[in-house]
Structure 1
């Protein structure tokens, strides 16, 4: 393989090191320039290699443990993992093994391990593919698997993990003419109106991108704004709005929307997206708790564990350990109470999180309804197009899971509920 293969693989290993040693998320690493020295095609390949390795990490470790007496240094281990995944998925042994050996050899701290790396990967090349095909679908780490299994049961947990392992297609939210856009991009229209593409390639090259006819948004995430059902002329506050998919949905409905988020860089992306799709919104970089006024409707996509997005972000279970969940749950409660206070009498609020944990969804809404005597949960509001009534939970919210629509490619884990304030 050309020299670009070496630099691409080395960059992918560095991403793995930062995820697993420093607890960094891939998106953050890439947006902060983690692959900036690579050409665009190599950048995309490095990201794909890192994602494939994380998605197949358990399988890689099970293959490797048969050929090693003990676990090596994390950096060396990640080189072996990435190479093992490539080899077992059909990569050419010569380039994969040579680059892996060179990555280890050119690091003074690990140079002494190059012989081991070469020997292990030769064995993996010889026997790995046969072993690979017999391995189970990778399981989530215990810190996350245990609470999710308690919430949904052992059988459902296996279905969720299968959905994670399958990865995610690309979903688009369209301004109008979903059927026409689906035909133009080679996709299909989902029951909720999103357009899904199985193998999208470069997003910016898809039909309708430059014309601003759609934006990328997982089908599950799009359901929150559909539940809100903003009307022309209404004043709507979108809290924790970046990167802006829901803001654009509300703006496209004709409402007057104010989007708030405390991340200046992510809000700049929102401004760029609004310009591309030719929609208008007031963009505010600021603290949720500093917002004032009275609104007809509010959408609060609260900060959460993001455990519903693992099919697209397989790094999350390895970058996190659950220790921050308590703080996030407390923040969600504070944000939700503040948002309810910003509603006009008779107003409505959609609370949502991209989490699979009931403590970040069902429990929050149930407890909010107990705290606020004049707030009720509108269970009928979540019964929108594409929703199975069985997905509506006891307290009246909508629980979406990765294993739903399994025959169509699944969806993110998400929770959505509509709260109405009395007159």
Structure 2
């Protein structure tokens, strides 16, 4: 039971908003939770689209984001705490306000007068929710008294939607499912991929070196304020996301195509290692982030805004093609817990069909004797090995190049399966975990 009840955020005290913005921060968080659940949009997209969010100071935006993210991390336990006291489900926005207030009371250490008072005031400020204010006040006062008892009676796994939890336990085992559920409840860490001297940068930044090129910091915070940001010595990138480029080994002087490249961490890695990089993505906004990071890091790559399925390069073939395919992104739940709630089984099926189109297209861009590297940041088995198996059956000139180890990083033997690599979020759990990824390396015959 202690494991369920003691994993509380360490960031509440430093992110608590000033009184003038307290109500706005809480309104932003409640609206964001409602929108994610109702329309299956990513949390960051929902937040960025709110005028109220944009008018908040950075500290207050961070607090609103923390409330919303914590609500998704603890959704199952929060609902269990509310169930005895909410006899008839109110409107979606009112219920989201109850969820976000409960997250503050049970997991963020917010004083009851602040969480309850501001939530009630928020509901009173809107005509559509004014009539629920007294009910919310009564419910939240019961949460203060007994909420921890009801939330704490639930195991961590209830915070993962049933359709995902069932599949993960079936494929990876119940113990793995439990460990992933515990990892979901923890505050996320920050990984930085450095151009060089990871050990030196770990010392400068007060972090630890893990793997060959990653510095890990215990808290995310304001990355722009860290030493080395302004001069482009590093960029934020989870260690799992950095592995594909590392596994490609020596890329110096090679023509490399980074398909579906944005936001561009792998492009930066490739350019830093001396590759001649072409980066293709259909999102202009996300490519702008890549352009900004290339400028900051003083690295070079050709950037093309195009749909990979329709694009035709001037030079038809590349020595290496890296396809980080669009996927459900369920493996990123440590930093984006909303991915567990903004995807559906239908979404996964649609993404699988897209992956089955993109892999052969990427194969066409791969030169004879070249390498095609496929990866997804998904925990859904169907977005991994079956896609590679289908591709190899239909495109016989490619063969699997088994991945047998990871540079300076000891992963469990179970990670290396059928020649591919599978990471799970609780790997490196003593150091903060890692994203869930599937990776496979394929070679084209000469």
Instruction: Give the alignment partner of residue 213 of structure 1, picking from 233, 250, 275.
Output: 233
Q: Confirm or deny: 8 A CA contact 2:404 2:416 kept in the other structure.
A: no
Segments of 5+ residues of structure 1 without an aligned counterpart are none
Q: Confirm or deny: 8 A CA contact 2:259 2:308 kept in the other structure.
A: yes
Find the counterpart in structure 2 of residue 291 from structure 1: 312
Q: 1:32-181 maps to which residues of 2 (within 5 A)?
A: 32-33=49-50, 35-89=53-107, 90-137=109-156, 138-181=158-201
* Change over 3 Å in CA distance of 1:119–1:383 after alignment to 2: closer
Q: 1:375-414 maps to which residues of 2 (within 5 A)?
A: 375-380=398-403, 383-388=406-411, 390-414=413-437
Cα offset, 1:126, TM superposition: 2.2
Aligned residues: CA RMSD: 1.6
Cα offset, 1:388, TM superposition: 2.8
Compute the TM-score of the two structures, normalised by the length of structure 1: 0.96
Encode CA deviations 1:213-251: one digit per residue, 9 max, x unaligned.
Answer: 000000000001111224221100000000000000000
* Change over 3 Å in CA distance of 1:383–1:178 after alignment to 2: closer
Q: Distance in 2 between matches of 1:421 and 1:215?
A: 32
Q: Distance in 2 between matches of 1:31 and 1:402?
A: 27
User: 3-state DSSP class of the match of 2:230?
Assistant: coil
Q: Distance in 1 between matches of 2:384 and 2:151?
A: 37
Q: Confirm or deny: 8 A CA contact 2:319 2:366 kept in the other structure.
A: yes
Q: Distance in 1 between matches of 2:241 and 2:360?
A: 22
Instruction: Give the alignment partner of residue 269 of structure 2, picking from 241, 249, 267.
Output: 249
Q: Does 1:311 align with 2:331?
A: no
Q: Does 1:27 align with 2:36?
A: no
User: 3-state DSSP class of the match of 1:160?
Assistant: helix
Segments of 5+ residues of structure 2 without an aligned counterpart are 1-17
* Change over 3 Å in CA distance of 1:192–1:402 after alignment to 2: farther
- Quick check: 311-320 or 169-178, which moved more? 311-320
* Change over 3 Å in CA distance of 1:30–1:116 after alignment to 2: closer
User: 3-state DSSP class of the match of 1:258?
Assistant: strand
Q: Confirm or deny: 8 A CA contact 1:240 1:300 kept in the other structure.
A: yes
Q: Distance in 1 between matches of 2:163 and 2:415?
A: 27
User: 3-state DSSP class of the match of 1:166?
Assistant: coil
Compute the TM-score of the two structures, normalised by the length of structure 2: 0.91
Cα offset, 1:88, TM superposition: 1.5
State the number of aligned residues: 423
